């Protein structure tokens, strides 16, 4: 297998979700044709997982009504269980109102109050109504608005359905990106002055998950193998309300609009766990509460061991559900056979978000000066150990903008450092590696390996964890990695080879699983989404610090730590 084509751009954006599109739009609107952009995506542009975001986007828009930057920052930092970098949080909350207004000017159909102002709804852990929304399809409308705005510019080229396989770093700088052109069946090389990684999270590590099938942590795994550290990967958020049995997201907006959580006795059980905020406590607390109800026998028996509780919207009334939650009604009817106007929805906690990601500074710059990361692929960190609902789409917008602007400035002030012949050897070596996987003819089924991994993560690395289960999970993952060396790829053609793509995704997930599990095993405390039953309390003396995972030359994982940036508020006990 050889390099068929070489594509050159000033800035390469890997990933075309909210963060990637926002970066592209920022470059277009501020720099125009002075900066040439290549947008590389494994799916068609409007098929990015960002379109699945439902509930809304947080921003301080009502200071005259009692909200403030300080209040949004405090909610975020407290919600993070004090693991968020506080300087980054303040930058985030101060930039967000501008993003809401920009989307407004670009044509997004924000919901409105009766006085004509942009409406907002309550969200978990947010102590003020600051989550603006467009029905319950906010991510879709944000993506559509950014895509429509991108069409105004001519400085970019799209590379849809290109599966990236490696990041080439030479002399400490980004030099190239290799990828499979799935449509034409070619192995290609991208070269640029700057790379922005905006590939999202790794939610398909789990079987019961809200993520699209395409979200397999490819950007994270490639960055890790290229030598970049991954930060805080043990913190996986479980959204309280995944639809049973599919795992499809039932937005927090359903509780923000007034929905109740009830056990099989009809009790609003959140009174036992978070009496002041009830159903609108932060996600980690609500998820643990639901699992406790289920484990103690107050849930309903579900299919395939997916026991559940009820999300009750019936008291909201038909008019409000049709106006504010039309997608949720459609999903419940189609995928669970229940109409939420008339009956409650079966739900349980579901893998939903990666608080961790590629280690960056406050500007989204990685330890490699010409590689940036934005959105869920990055860990700035503003979410710490637990993300507040509606802060994720907001983060994508803010750091999409920041990394877009800074990458363009870098490209304009730096010449290309590398010629094709200087990195062709590395690119050809990657082509040989992919060819080796393509030609594997062993006796192990990569799909079965993937299924075993996802079941393992569900059972051993879930809402509640123990050292014993984490050690068993680590042993099994290492065994699965050995099994992967002896897989069989049935389809030998490079063109739209879903067998090969799935195998490469599985390889990425196996690498990331080891990082997640090892980080969780070494963090002997409970903080935010990471709850150790054998270490049930937060330990600020030992673990008020970020985890950094590095890949050693032999492929093993090395864990180091760096301090949390605490600039405003010292950690206190977290109560709701």
Burial class (CB in 10 A: 0-12, 13-18, 19+), 171: exposed
Helix pair 86-106, 392-413: axis angle to 10 deg? 90
Rounded distance, CA 156 to CA 404, Å?
13
Rounded distance, CA 460 to CA 77, Å?
28
58 C-beta neighbours (distance < 10 Å), count? 29
49 C-beta neighbours (distance < 10 Å), count? 24
* H or E segment to which residue 261 belongs: strand 260-262
Location of structure tokens 């998950």: 209
Active-site residue list: 239, 255
Report which of 564, 274, 237, 268 is spatially closest to residue 390, judged by C-alpha positions: 237
Structure tokens at 508: 């990425």
Report which of 122, 67, 117 is spatially closest to residue 96, judged by C-alpha positions: 67
Beta strands (DSSP E) in 212-269 are 230-231, 236-243, 260-262
Rounded distance, CA 463 to CA 308, Å?
14
Rounded distance, CA 378 to CA 550, Å?
15
Report which of 488, 503, 500 is spatially closest to residue 185, judged by C-alpha positions: 500
């Amino acid at each position: 297998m050889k390099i068929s084509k070489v594509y050159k751009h000033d800035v390469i954006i890997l990933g075309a979700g909210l963060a990637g599109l926002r970066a592209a739009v920022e470059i277009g609107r501020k720099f125009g044709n002075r900066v040439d952009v290549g947008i590389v995506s494994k799916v068609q542009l409007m098929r990015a997982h960002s379109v699945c975001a439902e509930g809304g986007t947080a921003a301080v828009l009502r200071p005259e009504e009692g909200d403030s930057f300080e209040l949004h920052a405090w909610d975020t930092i407290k919600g993070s269980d004090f693991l968020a970098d506080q300087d980054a949080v303040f930058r985030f909350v101060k930039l967000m109102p501008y993003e809401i207004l920009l989307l407004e000017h670009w044509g997004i159909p924000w919901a409105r109050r009766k006085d004509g102002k942009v409406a907002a709804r309550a969200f978990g852990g947010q102590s003020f109504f600051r989550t603006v929304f467009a029905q319950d399809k906010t991510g879709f409308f944000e993506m559509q608005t950014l895509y429509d705005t991108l069409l105004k510019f001519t400085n970019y080229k799209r590379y849809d359905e290109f599966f990236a396989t490696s990041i080439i770093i030479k002399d400490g700088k980004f030099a190239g990106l290799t990828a499979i052109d799935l449509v034409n069946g070619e192995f290609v090389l991208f070269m640029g002055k700057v790379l922005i990684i905006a590939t999202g999270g790794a939610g398909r590590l789990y079987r019961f998950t809200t993520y699209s099938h395409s979200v397999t942590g490819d950007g994270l795994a490639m960055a890790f193998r290229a030598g970049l550290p991954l930060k805080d990967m043990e913190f996986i958020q479980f959204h309280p309300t995944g639809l049973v049995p599919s795992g499809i997201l039932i937005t927090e907006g359903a509780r923000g609009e007034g929905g109740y959580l009830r056990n099989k006795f009809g009790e609003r059980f959140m009174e036992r766990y978070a009496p002041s905020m009830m159903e609108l406590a932060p996600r980690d607390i609500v998820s643990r509460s639901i699992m406790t109800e289920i484990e103690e026998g107050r849930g309903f028996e579900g299919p395939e061991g997916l026991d559940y509780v009820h999300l009750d919207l019936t008291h909201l009334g038909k008019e409000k559900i049709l106006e504010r939650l039309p997608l949720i009604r459609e999903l419940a009817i189609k995928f669970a056979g229940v109409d939420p106007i008339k009956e409650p929805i079966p739900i349980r906690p579901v893998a939903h978000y990666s608080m961790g990601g590629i280690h960056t500074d406050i500007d989204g710059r990685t330890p490699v000066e010409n590689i940036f990361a934005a959105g869920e692929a990055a860990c700035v960190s503003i979410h710490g150990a637990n993300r507040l609902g509606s802060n994720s789409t907001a983060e994508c917008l803010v750091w999409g903008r920041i990394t877009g602007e800074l990458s363009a400035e870098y490209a304009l002030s730096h010449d290309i450092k590398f010629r094709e012949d200087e990195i062709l050897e590395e690119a050809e070596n990657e082509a040989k590696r992919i060819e080796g996987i393509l030609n594997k003819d062993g006796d192990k089924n990569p799909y079965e390996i993937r299924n075993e991994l996802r079941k393992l993560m569900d059972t051993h690395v879930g809402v509640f964890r123990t050292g014993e289960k984490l050690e068993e999970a680590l042993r099994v993952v290492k065994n699965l990695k050995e099994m992967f060396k002896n897989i069989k790829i049935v389809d030998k053609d490079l063109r739209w080879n879903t067998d090969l793509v799935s195998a490469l995704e599985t390889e990425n997930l196996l690498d990331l699983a080891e990082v997640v599990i090892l980080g969780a095993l070494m963090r002997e405390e409970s903080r935010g989404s990471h709850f150790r039953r054998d270490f049930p309390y937060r330990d600020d003396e030992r673990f008020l610090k970020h985890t950094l995972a590095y890949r050693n030359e032999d492929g093993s994982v090395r864990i180091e730590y760096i301090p949390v940036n605490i600039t405003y508020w010292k950690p206190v006990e977290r109560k709701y």
